[in-house]
Amino acid sequence: MDDGPARIDKALDGGTRQPRFRMVPVRYLLPNMITLLALCSGVTAIRFALEARYELAVASVMLAVVLDAVDGRLARLLKGTSRFGAELDSLADFVNFGVAPAILVYVWSLNALKTLGWVIALVLAMSCALRLARFNVALDDPARPAWASQFFSGAPAPAGATLALLPLYLGFLGVIDDGHRWALVIGPYVVVVALLMVSRIPTFSGKNVGRIPGDRVLPVLAFAVLAVILLIAYPWECLTVISLGYLALIPVSLRAYRRHMLDDGVARQSKG
């Protein structure tokens, strides 16, 4: 049997043949699997919206928000962060928090404004894409001070999606009787949310919440369990309170950011 080609390949490899595919640790796969599940949830929300099953559509977007919070923390916990995972997460976030909420709000309300309503939906989706692109670029900024990690620049994509769906929560609660009838009010509100995502307004980041003092573990655990129970029992009431509370915290985060900037400026002057 002629083994000439095999000898040639072995000689070219320097005598050591490398495997065609390298082994990938499981810790890199688990966060990406959760990201893909979030993407499936966001795309499913679009399907429910087109079928006028709005409550299920909103629930699917909220599930994507939860999974998006889990995948990043799981990747950091398992030390499974990668460039591939970061890119996949950004693409999934654009669909889940840009495309899905835009289509959902358009079908539920903004299509009453015809072309103008579609333009508003496009503004929401484009703002989400721009916000994600700016976030990815800011990660590589070496001049960024350490305290800046406590803040986002503008509303993050999951928060923007949650805020954009506030009219639907109110509709499920009966506060808004018909989304199409309220389109002239909902349209400007969605534009404001879109502008908030691409703005430079600092908002609090929860990514640095890691360790809890030992004497506060039980109260925090009890509060977290109670919050989950309330969210399951009264989802639309809780999401309404969360959205309004987030908007109310924006002036607080702005003051905190300015205080950090002032302290940083004083520190630099003292060193100079």
- pLDDT (tens digit per residue) in 227-245: 889 999 999 999 999 999 9
Choice among 41-50, 66-75, 176-185 with the minimum mean pLDDT? 66-75
Q: Please report how many Cα atoms fall inside a 13 Å half-sphere around the Cα of residue 115, on the Cβ side.
A: 0
CB 34 within 8 A of CB 70: yes
In terms of DSSP bridges, do strands 202-204 and 151-153 run parallel, antiparallel, or are they unpaired?
A: antiparallel
Q: 26-140+151-271: which CATH architecture?
A: Up-down Bundle (1.20)
The domain locations on the chain are: 26-140+151-271
The dihedrals phi and psi of 78, each to the nearest 5 degrees, come to -85, 0
Closest CA to 64 of 25, 28, 27, 104: 104
Task: Using pLDDT thresholds of 50, 70 and 90, give the confidence band for residue 222.
Answer: confident
Determine the pLDDT at residue 45.
Answer: 97
* Residue of 268, 262, 119, 137 lying closest to 187 (CA atoms): 119
Provide the pLDDT for residue 129: 95
User: To the nearest whole number, what is the mean pLDDT of the chain?
Assistant: 85
Enumerate the β-bridge partners of residue 202.
153
- For the cut 70, the answer to whether the pLDDT of residue 15 exceeds it is no
Query: CA nearest 124: which of 84, 152, 166, 86?
Result: 166
Task: Of 3-7, 157-161, 253-257, give the lowest mean pLDDT range.
Answer: 3-7
* Residue 246 one-letter amino acid: Y
With a cut of 50, say whether residue 8 has pLDDT above it. Answer: no
C-alpha distances in angstroms, 247 versus 10, 89, 126, 180?
Answer: 65, 25, 21, 24
Q: Which helix (H) or strand (E) element contains residue 135?
A: helix 115-138
Residue 270 has pLDDT above 70, yes or no: no
CA dihedral 231, 236, 237, 240 (to 10 degrees): 110
How high is the pLDDT of residue 144?
Answer: 67
pLDDT, one tens digit per residue, over 42-53 is 999 999 999 999
